[in-house]
Structure 1
Amino acid sequence: MTIENDKLNQSEKILLAAFKCLSSRGYANVSMRDIADEAGVVLSQLTYYFKNKEGLFKEVVKMMTNKYLQEIEESLKREKTPKGRILSLTKYFKKLLNHNPELFKLLYDFTGLALWSPAFSKLLRELFKELSNMIEKYIINNLQIKEIKGYSPKALSKLILGAVLGTAIQEILDNGDNPGETLNAVGILFE
């Protein structure tokens, strides 16, 4: 039992070190050696726990995905109206932009990687599907109309997700000029 706890703690330590390295420097600028150094372990321990670089990075994506999904769902549940929920969603992303832009950068880094890697593509598709499903469940389905100008709730939820994520990357690239201000405009969709 102690060995399993030590193993779990060691693998968690490596995962957190990988997350820290990747979110601060980006995928292309991080080596397995960097992660091992950050975790304070020997390089062979990374392959012991995660087999290879892809295995480790897939686990980082899973960790990040779980964090996003849990926090976003909590944010959506706090409000009762569709407009309140969309404002809560944009508030969540604004907070993330202001206090943890590295998490967004990591999401975009992995999204770019997903364009070329089937393993990462599957993970990111699942994340975006879950996010748009949440938007559909908590926002669109509560509008009490099933379609807006012929578009399905699923299409509308993807539109909202795309608008929020696309706006967020523009905010990051604008180097923090009025961070989150543009995200407020998403709320006009519900006025």
Structure 2
Amino acid sequence: MPKVGMEEIRKQQVIEATERCIIEKGFSNMSVKDIAMEANVSTGIIYHYFKNKEDVLLQVIKRSFAKSHERVMETVEPLETFEEKLHKHIENINSVPKDNPDFYAVLLNYLGQAKNNPEINMVIAKFFKNLRKYIETYSQNGVTSGKVNPDKIKHLPALVIGLGMGIGIQWIIDQDAFDIDDIEKAFINIINVYINK
């Protein structure tokens, strides 16, 4: 019988090893055996704590999204005004490629699987839905204060996410293409022009 708390430690160990395997080998080029070797556990341990390989893979993407959400809650939520929240959120999105490039490596692997895997599709769709809803929620403060055109709120969340992730993916693929820090100002300016009354 495992010691109290050992289950969570083992699960975390396997999830972290799986993420490393995805980054190093790619989603479709890794096996449970690879994960076990990376985690320094037996394949039996993996099957003891997870239903199958797909279950482990789902936990990796959920963990990645949870870490992203925690960062937003720590840095954006405490701010008071719409402008502060929006600019800090854009700063966070823009910093992911530099501060957490593995996020994009993992996300790109999962996006490639989403069309053919309903569970992965559902997890990714939920992540984007929650992110859009959060942006929409704090944007209502901008409408209430008269600083944002109410007609612009409908598409603002998708535009912020699309522009931010598009910039991040481009920079991860080709870091010589542009200065990621410099482009943040242009990102904010584009969004400010869009929402301006």
**TM-score (norm. length: structure 2):** 0.84
Letter in structure 2 aligned against 1:141: Q
**d(CA) in 1 for partners of 2:115, 2:181:** 27
Q: For 1:21-67, what per-residue CA distance to the aligned partner results, in whole angstroms no more than 9, with x for missing partners?
A: 22344313322222111110011221221121111000111111111
RMSD of aligned alpha carbons: 2.3
Partner AA of 1:190 in structure 2: N
Kindly provide the CA deviation profile for residues 74-117 of structure 1, in whole angstroms up to 9, marking residues without a partner as x: 22224333232222122212332112211122122212211221
Gaps of 5+ in 1: none
Which residue does 1:109 correspond to in 2?
109
Q: 1:136 to 1:149 in 2, by over 3 A?
A: closer
Report the equivalent of 1:58. 58
Kept after mapping to 2: 8 A contact 1:171/1:180:
no
Residues in 1 aligned to 2:117 and 2:182: alpha-carbon distance in whole angstroms: 34
Match of 2:182 in 1: 181
What is the SS of the residue equivalent to 2:180? coil
Structure 2 unaligned residues grouped into runs of 5+: none
Counterpart of 2:37, as a letter, is D
Q: 1:24 to 1:2 in 2, by over 3 A?
A: same
Which amino acid is 1:184 matched to? K
Partner of 2:100: 100
Classify the secondary structure of the residue corresponding to 2:76.
helix
Q: What is the Cα deviation at residue 128 of structure 1? A: 0.3
Residue 141 of structure 2 is matched in structure 1 by 142
Contact 2:21–2:30 (CA<8 Å) still a contact in 1? yes
Per-residue deviation, residues 102-160 of structure 1 (Å, max 9, x unmatched): 1122122212211221000100011001111111112x212126984845x34321221
Partners of 1:7 and 1:114 lie apart in 2 by 29
Q: Matched residues in 1 for 2:182 and 2:8: separation?
A: 41
Work out the CA distance in 2 between the residues paired with 1:85 and 1:171: 24
Query: In terms of mean alpha carbon deviation, does 105-114 or 72-81 score higher?
Result: 72-81
1:43 aligns with 2:49: no
Q: What residue in structure 2 maps to residue 67 of structure 1?
A: 67
The TM-score normalised by the length of structure 1 is: 0.86
* Matching residue's letter, 2:157: S
Q: Is the contact between residue 132 and residue 158 of structure 1 (CA under 8 Å) also seen in structure 2?
A: yes
3-state SS of the aligned residue for 2:79? coil
- The number of equivalent residue pairs is 189
The question of whether the paired residues in 2 share the 8 Å contact of 1:23 and 1:103 is answered with no
Q: Once the two structures are aligned, what percentage of the paired residues are identical?
A: 24
Question: Residues 24 and 102 of structure 1 are in contact (CA less than 8 Å); yes or no, is this contact kept in structure 2?
Answer: no
Question: Does the 8 Å CA contact 2:96/2:168 hold for their aligned counterparts?
Answer: no
The residue that corresponds to 1:190 in the other structure is 192
Distance 1:86 1:186, change over 3 A: farther
